[in-house]
Structure 1
Amino acid sequence: MKVEIWSDLTCPWCGLAGHRLDRAVERFAHGGDVELIHRSFPLDPDLPSSPAVPTRQALKQKYGMDDAQAEAATRRVEVLAEREGLRPYIVLDNKKAGTQLAHEFLAHATAQGKHAEAWRLTFRAYFGEAHSLFDVDALLELSDELGLDREETRQVLVERRFRQQVRDEARRAGTLGARGVPFLVIDGQYAVAGAQDTETFLDVFQQVWDATHPQLVQTPDGDADGVCGPDGCVLPGDHAARA
């Protein structure tokens, strides 16, 4: 079962959804048959990566929120995340900027065989440590933690080798119906929007599994000649001989 989740890296609900999705896969009876793939969806692809601004200021500029509204909009997800083991989970007292380059870093890490590790590390660094994701030097620190070649990573980021791939991933999400993130697609057919809780993800997994893996029902043996039995139908011996 192929599970794809589109996220942006400074979206707090995306970080929480990724955590819940990991827990759901761990608990799912067929978790070993789940292929979990993270996809990029920068919400503001044209936003510059510098300068990074305080989240309070970003919310005021984009949505016109005052301090009280910013508190209300962010503290809820912080509390939920911390209840689920993500401590600390820094949203309001963080910074925001364009994430396009960070997504390109993740595409490079994926090409180097570090897909899941890179996504988890990047979310943890940003929300757990308020680590910048917005310039080459900050991303190289994450590259070092992943054991990637530092100079190769620098060259990839400077040359913007994965810029088009990131754009293509976001465009595909749009064709599948995404109007925001997190956005989940299972087996290319079943879509789930929003940071659903772990139990909901589990229920969806089971529904899709049941729909795509019909249950075999064992019945008594077929006719005496053994033409049809519990393992299917075969040609009788004399029929096979005539053929």
Structure 2
Amino acid sequence: MKVEIYSDVACPWCYIGKRRFERALAAFHGADEVEVVYRPYQLNPDAPATAFPLQQYLAQRFGPQGAQMARQVTETARGEGIVMDFDAAMAANTLDAHRLLRLAEREYGGGVQQALKEALLEAHFGQGADIGDAGVLETLATGAGMDGGRVRGYLASGEGRREVKDEIAQAQRLGITAVPTFVIDGRYAVQGAQPASAFLQVLEQVAGEAKEAGAGAGGERCAEGSCAP
């Protein structure tokens, strides 16, 4: 079974959804046979190269509701064991972070990509790090097990830039308009940071259908706890 997770490093619900999906996967009897791959999506592709306070960005985009939204998602994240500090967080362009995640998956495998994804989310939401900064990205990548020299050269080049943008465009053509979106075996799309029980139910359903030698394709789509451009 293959699970492709479309998400953005700048999306708090993607962090919460990641944690809930991981709990579901840990409870799934066939977890060892599940391949998890993170796919790119940018909520704000026009974000400037120079980072600025996330609270300022939320106020510009959502007005007075921005601060309330931050408090609500912080409380939800706390329930999943995630620390979010919106006062320290910096809004940044996430294209290079997605390039790096693509490199991790292609040259190091899913385990390293997942470790890097976690590090990026924690750095962005919990540590006030500028995840658009090449030095920060290199530090996080080497911490996840990637070669520093390769990462440094990669980020300094344009390698992977077009491919990531193409993947984002393909996601939009597939109808993905909000993140996180979890696509399971190319047949089921679960949108939003659903409860772990909902993820587990879908995993078990897909596994059951596989045992029935390719029983009818279908689709499920949920729409709570997600971020949209």
TM-score range, shorter chain: 0.7 to 0.9
- Counterpart for residue 38 of structure 1: 38
Which secondary structure state, in structure 2, belongs to the residue aligned with residue 47 of structure 1?
A: coil
* In 1, Cα distance between equivalents of 2:131 and 2:20: 22
- Structure 1, residues 115-148: CA drift from partner, whole Å, max 9, x if none? 2211122112222222220111111111231232
Q: Which runs of 5+ in 1 are unaligned?
A: 216-243
Letter of the 2:61 partner, please give it.
Answer: K
- Return the match for 2:165 from 167, 173, 178: 167
- Return the match for 1:76 from 60, 72, 76: 72
- Counterpart for residue 48 of structure 2: 48
- Counterpart for residue 187 of structure 2: 189
Q: TM-score, normalised by structure 1?
A: 0.81
Letter of the 1:22 partner, please give it.
Answer: E
Which secondary structure state, in structure 2, belongs to the residue aligned with residue 10 of structure 1?
A: coil
- Return the match for 1:124 from 112, 116, 122: 122
Which secondary structure state, in structure 1, belongs to the residue aligned with residue 175 of structure 2?
A: coil
- Structure 1, residues 89-113: CA drift from partner, whole Å, max 9, x if none? 2235411021111111222222331
- Counterpart for residue 103 of structure 1: 98
Does the Cα contact within 8 Å between 2:10 and 2:43 map onto a contact in 1?
Answer: no
- Structure 1, residues 57-79: CA drift from partner, whole Å, max 9, x if none? 1112223x12xx12221112211
- Counterpart for residue 214 of structure 1: 212
Which secondary structure state, in structure 2, belongs to the residue aligned with residue 16 of structure 1?
A: helix
Does the Cα contact within 8 Å between 1:12 and 1:91 map onto a contact in 2?
Answer: no
- Structure 1, residues 200-239: CA drift from partner, whole Å, max 9, x if none? 1111112222223229xxxxxxxxxxxxxxxxxxxxxxxx
Letter of the 2:49 partner, please give it.
Answer: S
- Structure 1, residues 45-66: CA drift from partner, whole Å, max 9, x if none? 232221x121221112223x12
Identical amino acids, percent of aligned pairs: 35
Letter of the 1:199 partner, please give it.
Answer: S
* In 1, Cα distance between equivalents of 2:184 and 2:87: 32
Does the Cα contact within 8 Å between 1:8 and 1:181 map onto a contact in 2?
Answer: yes
Which secondary structure state, in structure 2, belongs to the residue aligned with residue 134 of structure 1?
A: coil
Which secondary structure state, in structure 1, belongs to the residue aligned with residue 86 of structure 2?
A: coil
The correspondence of residues 83-98 of structure 1 with structure 2, limited to 5 A, is 83-86=79-82, 88-98=83-93
Letter of the 2:212 partner, please give it.
Answer: P
- Structure 1, residues 180-207: CA drift from partner, whole Å, max 9, x if none? 1111111111111111111111111122
- Counterpart for residue 158 of structure 1: 156
Which secondary structure state, in structure 1, belongs to the residue aligned with residue 117 of structure 2?
A: helix
* In 2, Cα distance between equivalents of 1:148 and 1:201: 30
* In 2, Cα distance between equivalents of 1:112 and 1:128: 27
Larger RCO, structures 1/2 (Cα 8 Å, 6+ apart): 2
Misfit runs of 4+, over 6 Å: none
* In 1, Cα distance between equivalents of 2:87 and 2:164: 26
Query: Root-mean-square deviation (CA), in Å?
Result: 1.6
- Counterpart for residue 220 of structure 2: none
Does the Cα contact within 8 Å between 2:89 and 2:127 map onto a contact in 1?
Answer: no
Does the Cα contact within 8 Å between 2:92 and 2:130 map onto a contact in 1?
Answer: no
Q: TM-score, normalised by structure 2?
A: 0.85
- Structure 1, residues 154-202: CA drift from partner, whole Å, max 9, x if none? 1111112011221122122212211111111111111111111111111
Task: Give the number of aligned pairs.
Answer: 210
Does the Cα contact within 8 Å between 2:21 and 2:199 map onto a contact in 1?
Answer: yes
Higher Cα Rg, which structure: 1
